[in-house]
Chains A and B, each alone.
Chain A
Amino acid sequence: MKLRDVAQFASELPDGAVENEEGTDFIVWPARPVAEALHELLHAMGCEPGPVVSASFKGWEITFIYRGRPLWCRISMIERYIAYFDDKGLWPNLIGMKPAVYAEFLARLGDTLSSDRRFQDVRWYALKEIETDFAGALRPVA
């Protein structure tokens, strides 16, 4: 079973960026409205999400619990939006084997994200596939 836990998508929501007076950098980094929409979606899926937190130029982060499992998400933007998901557990990250409940979460998220009109052209990638010629998979779990 192959898990792809990075989603790229388009959205017509505003990017929410606020630049400084000189226009040389951001005061509020892009992707906050999309992060908040994703927060709502996670809540609707039965997750217990914490607040949307700024991670400076890396984007916006949400930690949440799905069926007792602590998970994490970072949303940022290049040309399209990118949402990275991960299991927060130490062991799954050290040994590279994610628990079954994480795969179940991704499968459900894939369906939910595709059917939500706020997110368009959703594609799924493994970390190494991001920003490569790979066009992305339609589902996160294959």
Chain B
Amino acid sequence: VGEVADTRSQYVARKRRDYEAQRNQAEAAEAAQSDSDWSKVQAGALGWTKGFGLGALRGVWNNAKGVAEGGLSAAQTVALDPADVALGRSPLDRIADPLINAGAAVANELSSPAKLGADAWGRVRQTGRELNPFQGFAPTAAQQGAWAQKTGENAGERAVDLATLAEGALQFKLAKELGYIGKIPTVESYAARGTPAGISKYFAGPYTGRQGSHFIPQRVDFLPKWFMDSPFNRTMPSPRATAGQMSEFHFKNDDRFNGGRVPFRFGGGGWSGKRLDWTRPAAPVRWWRGMPLPMKLAGYAGLGGLGALLPNDQETTQP
């Protein structure tokens, strides 16, 4: 009798557990249905924003890693290898081979325009799936938020890639403006821009100043001088930069610098950037342009360090 009673009590207990599990399941399903579309939109927007930040940090880290690996690979490519020397091959052969292979792959793609179009369209659709946080509603707001976070991470990484490319283009432009690369302006090139003759002659002469251009202005007196005059805060032009190049660079970066005087040898009088039709970018662009590259790299390294702490992830689309 005792054995039967035990079995019965076990049976009741099991049934109670089953009923409780069924009730929990039903409540969960009901709760899931009670997540309104609006709450899913909110969770999605929040998740996407959070993911964008995380993805951007990871993107910075991946780019920094990519640059380091690329540099190492380039160094290995150009270094002399004893095996190559024995075969009479030069480092140029090692550079040429992958280029030839890449060229052949591109030629193969271009040989079939229909396939090229289909591939391009496929890539556009794939990118849309990777970046769009709302490709339909998930069963719950929590799931919607999680999916949106993944697409946000993808978007953050892409945004960092685009921003890095844009920064590269800006640095190229600034290197030209500061005389590090490209042709140095001449009297004739200034005159061709409509600059009066005397001012053209003055502008084509060398920049003799030694102050450079400070990002945080020198009137900010609570920062130490070593920092204020360091490459993190001061942009110096190339030794071959002209007076005109540095004047124009300053005009673009400082809205309290609008012109100056011309020595008597060149006719005297004054020059005004606005009268020379120079234009000054809007404040945020001006601020970004004026920030020296070492300061930007330090910020990039800091963000990359944070990105390195995040778990790596593959690009993910919504299921």
Contact = CB atoms under 8 A, between A and B. Distances in A.
Interface of A: 15, 17, 19-20, 22-26, 29-30, 55-59, 61, 63, 72, 74, 76-79, 82, 84, 86, 88, 127, 130-132
B205 A24 contact: yes
Main secondary structure of the interface of B (DSSP, over half): loop
Contact of A78 (B219, B220, B243, B270): B270
Contact of B260 (A24, A78, A127, A131): A78
Contacts of B219: 61, 63, 72, 88
A82 B257 CA distance: 10
B185 interface: no
B269 interface: yes
A132 B261 contact: no
B211 interface: yes
A92 to B, nearest CB: 14
Contacts of A22: 265
A104 B202 CA distance: 41
Contacts of B257: 58, 76
B264 interface: yes
A78 B261 contact: yes
A136 to B, nearest CB: 14
Interface residues of B, number: 32
B252 to A, nearest CB: 13
Contact of A77 (B260, B266, B274, B275): B260
A25 B261 contact: no
A131 B261 contact: no
B209 interface: yes
Contacts of B264: 19, 23
Contacts of B275: 131
A117 B218 CA distance: 31
B205 A131 contact: no
Task: From A23, A59, A79, name the one whose CB has the most chain B CB atoms within 10 angstroms.
Answer: A79
A88 B219 CA distance: 8
A7 B92 CA distance: 63
B259 A131 contact: yes
A103 to B, nearest CB: 19
A61 B218 CA distance: 10
